[in-house]
Structure 1
Amino acid sequence: MFWFCVHSEASLDDHLKGRKHQKLYSVRETRRLQEKRSVFVSGFQPETSQLQLTDYFEQFGPVSEVIMDKEKGVYAIVEFGEVAGLQAALSHSQHTLGGQKLRVKPREKKEFRYIPKKKQDTKNLLTVEQLSQDLCQAASVNEQMHRLVERFQLSESERKVRELLVELLQEVFTEFFPECRIVAFGSSVNTFDIHSCDLDLFLDLENTKIFQAKARSSSEQQAGEGLLEDTCSEDSILSDIDLSTASPSEVLELVAMVLRKCVPGAHKVQVLSSARLPVVKFSHRELGLQGDVSINNRLAVRNTRFLQLCSGLDGRLRPLMYTIRYWAKQKQLADKPVFTFVQKLYKDGNPFGGGPLLNNYALTLLVIFFLQNREPPILPSVNQLKEMACEEEQCVIEGWDCTFPSQPIAVPQSKNTEDLCALLAAFFTFCEQFDFAGSVVSLREGRALPVTAFLSKDEEANEAPVGEHLEMEEMRAKPRAPKLGPLNVLDPFELSHNVAGNLNERTQRSFRHECEEAAKYCRSLQYQRKSAKGKVWGLVRLFIPRDGDAPSSTGDAARQLVVSIPFKVTVLSETLRRRLHSAGDLFRQLWFTEVCKAILAVFQRVLGCTVVHGKTAEVPKGGYEGVDCSDTKTIGEESQAAPTEDEKHGVATTSKAVPVAACENGNRMSNRETNGVCRTSVSCSSANSDSSPLKQGKGVKRTLSEEEALPICPADKKPKLHSTAESGVVQWWCEVQHRVWAGRRKARRDLLKSLPETSRPEVGSVELEAEVTQRILLDHPAAEKLLQFAVEAKVLGGTEDTRAELRFTPCDEHASIFQDFFHFLELFLPKITEKLLEKVD
């Protein structure tokens, strides 16, 4: 029973009518309705997008929202617009998406709890302002960066406290694991320490295993029972476990027990055995520290030594690293946004687990890679460091060569004299112009490797560019290919590990966008010179937190009518991956050819458009599964031929040649009627030439199959794709005679409901989308010349992310209606093109 104390009925009435109560009631009611219409979905592949889930569940009813798991991408909440949609989804016997069986169940109903927002800590807000004032008072950007280090690095007392805790843990664990070693690594000791960073510890049990084996061997030889009892009493905690055969989780449970019972101040002890590197997490109450204890992490210890060496080689690394890390957190690219350095500003790792943010280690390696590529280099490559090491410094861990000098004195000093201000600006420009999609960052080589070098699974180990330092049998025992993604940064020693493999395209796009903005700012006087009027300048303006969501995939391109098809190795068929691997540095042209074929298939066979072109290029034959391209007819030459299947269903194909006139302006297309056909100009050098057959009216137009109208390089001349210069431009002229973009969701849903469950195409598949178009064509009469537009496609890469860029130019008279069609294409065209690339054989 609950009792409420109310001063009067009038007070209660005022409270119920109050804005705060009304808002709380509205939120509670909204949550209740959302729960009634939502299902919990799991079992899909990690790279599955919200759009794919939306497309799939819309066969059961309108979908209001899809909320993805932001941590590891292993579940989603799908909210339907109506309860009927939820019931239909739950009654469906089996759900399958992308070949994966989905688990769908009602959303768990939880009691609504109102958690009021915490008030801002005035003291912390003052501290932020104090930091800005301190930086503005500096005489130069160089001095600002050094002040940043002084603000964030651990004080001597903080270092001493951590050392004492390590000593305490060493004493405690030695009692239970004789001859063990506790070794600190990570942010506390890698020279990039910050206030409240975690204390990462490695429990080395190799000597303990030897001790245990000797003790057991000795006990078996003892005839005296008294000696046997003494041995058991001394080694009681090891008597129930064999360290040489025990699983990591069993050993970690033992470590957790020691922490809970024998380490003063240790609490919140938790074993994370399912992590990539299993650890025991704990907190220390009195010291306010959080720590991790791992048992199989020698590579991380060696990585820490490598970072210590790099800091010792050049004093510019630390201030540059602190600045870039702080900038990344302020821009919500790594960890959480930072508002006060008193709070937990940095944390080596991602607080969202496998979420989409850049971890500090990946960012650190990216900065070191940048310094390796300055002219002259500031830091040597790992391979160069290996050559400088002496015989006693040879080190192999788990089959990976981790050799480098133990002291900076063994490495020649760099001749580079750039200051910190220039290096910071150069870093942002470097990242702005780097082809992350088509490259792999290799600190071992000190250069970018083509991503295609990692695509083939069948190559011999000695052909791999990343494994030259390993013996043949060691390489074959190791997983060859790292997990590739939008941003690929190889660990300098564990060469099968992409330390940025958790990133998605959105984060990579945000990172590039923020680098572009930072590079632009660093070219201004506000960055380079101290303000004489007392305004914020230098790093302070650079650190302004990002406001709003990440930029869209199109950004300004939408206003320019541009659609980009990004280069994604994860969506390519195994056959195409092998072909790209064989193409080496020329992979972009081969990929672009396949993209052009796929785009033509989308326009012609999926959307029912008519595509024509002024010239023909021979390319290898081949189509796509589920998209029949065998019935393409030549316009003009085939006017007397029997009607095709598309024509029977109302898809008109032009029966006359479509000449292309010279371009009259850059962005808009001039048009005039010539025998009922819109005559349109496309901006291109060949069309403007007086000798061009297009100018002279030569060259008969015809519809294209996706084996045609693709850029071809002569056999004796290879294209240069190391810059943004055009390596090949393809131009198409398209006509649309139905509103194939309107009502697709409803048509898709109705189509799926009309088909037997066993014969339904997979949601989001090319086959389904082609059938949806056919249904729209049957239900709506054709509109003659509803829409006409030109498309210019080209491949970019080398000094920017590899991608195919499609620039659309509509006829003047169709500009307004084209906007609706273009907004549809922005999402549909890349998605279906990727589906076709998955099926290339």
Structure 2
Amino acid sequence: MEAAKQQPQPTPVAKKEQRLFKCDVCNIQYTGTESEISSHIFGKKHKERLRLLEDASKQVLVHVSIPDHQRIVFKQFLTSTFGCVEKIYFNDLGRRFVSVTFKSLESVTKAINSRHIFDNKKLNFEKRNITLRQVKKKEKKQRPLPQPRFILTGAFEEQIRELIKKVERSPEKSQEIQSLYSELQNCLMHEYPDCRVVPFGSVITGLAFTDSDVDCFVSINPIQMQILMSKCDDIDLLHSRLVRNTKNILHKYKTLFSHIVGIPRASVPIVKCLHIKSQTNCDVSFKNGFGIYNSRLIFFFIASDPRLKTLLQFIKYWAKNHDFLGYKTFSSYALTMLIIYYLQQISPPILIPIKELQKDKKFDIYIDGWNCGFDGISALPKTQNTSSVLTLLQGFYHFYEDYDFANNVICPYVGKSFPIEAFNNLENLLPSFQTYVNLVKVDRSKNLISAKRNVFVQDPFEHTRNITNTPDNKLKFFKSHCKLAYTKITNSIENNTYDNLINTLLNQQIATVKNNSSNILVKFPKMSNSDIDKSSLVNSVKIVVENILTEMLKCNFEIDNDEVCTEKNVTYHSVNFKCQTMYNVWFARKLHTENLSATNNALLKEIEITNALIDSGYKNISPKNPLFSFNFTVNIFDDNLKFSIRLIDGDKREYNIFFSFLNSRMSKILNPFFSNLIKEINA
């Protein structure tokens, strides 16, 4: 018998060698193989911590207090003295200091080993010591997973009721918030005896969501208010001081409030804080209290028709879901007024003009000369409109999908809209606006349309106030969503299929309309006189633009291009200025408006302010590096001018602020100039 064949034996696998590994960067220690150790060293977490430690090594601290109007100057001083500054943080709470992150370690060494003086203040830099624990806190938090869509089926009314039940503030949460008012009032009582904390906004109207903020107005005793006013003649300055003082008071109650931030220079100065017990963000204001009566008006309308609350809540949640509800979009109040105006326009109307509620003079309540009172006792006239919530929602989207916001002013007070030109010709406005007309005649800056906006919605009580500040890209986004939502609802009604309609409206996707801030066009009024000599016009335009760049903006420039162009059979003269801005002359200009000469020339006034700002803010400082570089192109047509401004290099954030400033000034400077120029040429 043949010997049995030997079976091949498996090759023994060499045991991977393990060793003890300690990572000081991540503060861990474990036993692992070489491949495991390599995976850790080249992993994202380890690399991120290395980067954070490297950034920390480029940070220095200097214990000094820098006023707001000198902070940009201080950053320029650091850049020109030590090298490029990547980040800078000014701490105003407790012991004041400035944290500076340089781009290179050489700049750090240079700062620590030198002694400098800024605005008569000694600068002693010290290296910031960052522990591993602090680095760990700085790690970028992982974004939460997107919330699952609500599973909503059945009739549309059932879906919308179920949605609102899920997103509105619960009674238990509302009860917790009640303690916020009493605790806030008790904190302020020591400083302002007999003060009252009055809530307003969504907490009063009943439109609050689970994460909605709380708005509070602090009403101070009139006698104490007179005492405070005697120490401060400017009411706006007084409101700013009250905000700063309240911020300091709340810092003493660390068990009740946290995340306390004062915003004293806003149009409505507020203190933002977090109420610890209810975990609710709160905005505290002292200015006039218009919000209280606005909230009461909305609540009155909601109580008049049960459909309104459902409609308002859904549209508000829909807008929030698509990111055009909030800062620099539509405020909740502005969106509510758009809905109220729509309900005044439909046939038959559901809501009456607000002026109809002010016929009975016994309800009059005046704040700063404006009547905020209304008859909130008598019931509204019963409407003949029996449309369902779905039909009203469809109508809202259809009403605003192509609405001409650019050329109309929406006025819920009279229940009508007016062409913008009507507010330039005050004599032709309705008698209902007599208070508005009288005020604007005294102060033209109070004109509702004096500020350049894309949307004009007049406040129903304070008629000089436009309650919107919506950028063009957000407005287009809003109208595109309205158009898509109208189409979705119309298709559902035609096919009689409503399943998942709510989800469809909340999750509809539209490509975001981006605002290309690197290339912005500014148009000026047409100059429709064909007899104007083109060469004289070109020379005059070049002179005034050069004055704006050199004297008002303090820019260095060179003319990069000066030629006649033809495009689409249109001939125009184009001049391109390649500019560098060395000084920040667009920050805190209001602080330097005193002691100006009595001139009516807008450009000369702006130049005086710039010179005063540089004399105070840039004393003994000569910036070596520009803030940014930009192209300033002037296209001179036969009937108008177009200015195009484009960032080339530098701080994009500062450039955006710079452009907003320039955009707000150019019309005021150039329109009178060109009017006078045409008169001179035609003389």
Query: What is the distance in 2 between the residues matched to 1:359 and 1:650?
Result: 46
Give the match for residue 504 of structure 1: 471
Query: What is the distance in 2 between the residues matched to 1:624 and 1:171?
Result: 70
Give the match for residue 540 of structure 1: 503
**Structure 2 residue 365 is the aligned partner of structure 1 residue 374:** no
Per-residue CA distance 1:734-768 (angstroms, 9 max, x = gap): 499xxx99xx9xx9879xxxxxxxxxx9933326x
> Is contact 1:266-1:283 (8 Å) kept?
yes
User: Structure 1 pair 623/495, CA: closer, same or farther in 2 (3 Å)?
Assistant: farther
- The one-letter code of the counterpart of 1:485 is R
Q: CA deviation at 1:167?
A: 3.2
> Is contact 2:577-2:632 (8 Å) kept?
no
* Selected match of 2:413 from 413, 429, 444: 444
SS at match of 1:437: helix
Query: What is the distance in 1 between the residues matched to 2:232 and 2:446?
Result: 32
**Structure 2 residue 305 is the aligned partner of structure 1 residue 305:** no
Give the match for residue 483 of structure 2: 516
- The one-letter code of the counterpart of 2:388 is D
Give the match for residue 38 of structure 1: none
* Selected match of 2:435 from 454, 459, 470: 470
User: Structure 1 pair 764/331, CA: closer, same or farther in 2 (3 Å)?
Assistant: same
**Paired residues for 1:189-200 under 5 Å:** 189-200=204-215
> Is contact 2:201-2:214 (8 Å) kept?
yes
> Is contact 1:180-1:207 (8 Å) kept?
no
Query: What is the distance in 1 between the residues matched to 2:565 and 2:168?
Result: 70
* Selected match of 2:366 from 396, 408, 413: 396
Q: Which runs of 5+ in 2 are unaligned?
A: 1-23, 58-67, 70-127, 540-561, 580-628, 638-662, 676-683
> Is contact 1:191-1:308 (8 Å) kept?
yes
Give the match for residue 362 of structure 1: 334
User: Structure 1 pair 283/420, CA: closer, same or farther in 2 (3 Å)?
Assistant: same
- The one-letter code of the counterpart of 2:340 is I
SS at match of 2:262: strand
Give the match for residue 525 of structure 1: 492
Query: What is the distance in 2 between the residues matched to 1:165 and 1:627?
Result: 64
Per-residue CA distance 1:469-494 (angstroms, 9 max, x = gap): 41875554564323231122121122
Give the match for residue 142 of structure 2: 118
TM-score relative to the length of structure 1: 0.48
Q: CA deviation at 1:627?
A: 6.4
Query: What is the distance in 2 between the residues matched to 1:293 and 1:625?
Result: 58
SS at match of 1:321: helix
* Selected match of 1:480 from 429, 446, 449: 446
Q: CA deviation at 1:313?
A: 2.2
Query: What is the distance in 1 between the residues matched to 2:47 and 2:536?
Result: 54
Query: What is the distance in 2 between the residues matched to 1:172 and 1:477?
Result: 41
Give the match for residue 60 of structure 2: none
User: Structure 1 pair 26/447, CA: closer, same or farther in 2 (3 Å)?
Assistant: same
SS at match of 2:271: strand
**Structure 2 residue 179 is the aligned partner of structure 1 residue 164:** yes
> Is contact 1:526-1:537 (8 Å) kept?
no
Give the match for residue 151 of structure 1: 166
* Selected match of 2:384 from 398, 415, 424: 415
**Paired residues for 1:181-220 under 5 Å:** 181-209=196-224
Give the match for residue 766 of structure 1: 634
Query: What is the distance in 2 between the residues matched to 1:297 and 1:652?
Result: 55
SS at match of 1:499: coil
**Structure 2 residue 277 is the aligned partner of structure 1 residue 286:** yes
Give the match for residue 81 of structure 1: none
Q: CA deviation at 1:371?
A: 0.7
SS at match of 1:764: strand
> Is contact 1:328-1:334 (8 Å) kept?
yes
Per-residue CA distance 1:449-477 (angstroms, 9 max, x = gap): 112234x4xx6x65555972418755545
User: Structure 1 pair 305/626, CA: closer, same or farther in 2 (3 Å)?
Assistant: farther
> Is contact 1:179-1:208 (8 Å) kept?
no
SS at match of 1:468: helix
SS at match of 2:435: coil
SS at match of 1:523: helix
**Paired residues for 1:608-687 under 5 Å:** 621-622=531-532
Q: CA deviation at 1:421?
A: 0.5
Identity of aligned residues (%): 22
User: Structure 1 pair 247/439, CA: closer, same or farther in 2 (3 Å)?
Assistant: same
SS at match of 1:312: helix
User: Greater strand percent: which structure?
Assistant: 2
User: Structure 1 pair 9/383, CA: closer, same or farther in 2 (3 Å)?
Assistant: same
Bigger relative CO (Cα 8 Å, ≥ 6 apart): 1
Q: CA deviation at 1:328?
A: 1.2
Query: What is the distance in 2 between the residues matched to 1:304 and 1:625?
Result: 58
User: Structure 1 pair 527/334, CA: closer, same or farther in 2 (3 Å)?
Assistant: farther
User: Structure 1 pair 20/267, CA: closer, same or farther in 2 (3 Å)?
Assistant: closer
Query: What is the distance in 1 between the residues matched to 2:563 and 2:269?
Result: 61
Give the match for residue 230 of structure 1: none
Query: What is the distance in 1 between the residues matched to 2:219 and 2:47?
Result: 59
SS at match of 1:189: helix
- The one-letter code of the counterpart of 1:265 is L
Query: What is the distance in 1 between the residues matched to 2:192 and 2:570?
Result: 77
> Is contact 2:243-2:262 (8 Å) kept?
yes
Query: What is the distance in 1 between the residues matched to 2:399 and 2:278?
Result: 41
User: Structure 1 pair 391/498, CA: closer, same or farther in 2 (3 Å)?
Assistant: closer
User: Structure 1 pair 308/4, CA: closer, same or farther in 2 (3 Å)?
Assistant: closer
Query: What is the distance in 1 between the residues matched to 2:441 and 2:577?
Result: 48
SS at match of 1:434: coil
- The one-letter code of the counterpart of 1:450 is P
User: Structure 1 pair 650/463, CA: closer, same or farther in 2 (3 Å)?
Assistant: closer
Residues matched between the structures, number: 475
> Is contact 2:364-2:374 (8 Å) kept?
yes
Query: What is the distance in 1 between the residues matched to 2:436 and 2:44?
Result: 72
Q: CA deviation at 1:173?
A: 3.9
SS at match of 1:183: strand
- The one-letter code of the counterpart of 1:259 is L
User: Structure 1 pair 528/160, CA: closer, same or farther in 2 (3 Å)?
Assistant: farther
Query: What is the distance in 1 between the residues matched to 2:51 and 2:232?
Result: 59
Query: What is the distance in 2 between the residues matched to 1:625 and 1:466?
Result: 48
> Is contact 2:439-2:446 (8 Å) kept?
no
Give the match for residue 430 of structure 1: 399
> Is contact 1:527-1:538 (8 Å) kept?
no
- The one-letter code of the counterpart of 1:496 is T
SS at match of 1:370: helix
Q: CA deviation at 1:429?
A: 0.8
Query: What is the distance in 2 between the residues matched to 1:650 and 1:392?
Result: 68
- The one-letter code of the counterpart of 2:401 is E
**Structure 2 residue 258 is the aligned partner of structure 1 residue 275:** no
Greater displacement, 439-448 / 17-26: 17-26
Per-residue CA distance 1:80-101 (angstroms, 9 max, x = gap): xxxxxxxxxxxxxxxxxxxxxx
Query: What is the distance in 1 between the residues matched to 2:253 and 2:54?
Result: 49
Per-residue CA distance 1:94-129 (angstroms, 9 max, x = gap): xxxxxxxxxxxxxxx9x99973452636xx84xx44
> Is contact 1:529-1:537 (8 Å) kept?
no
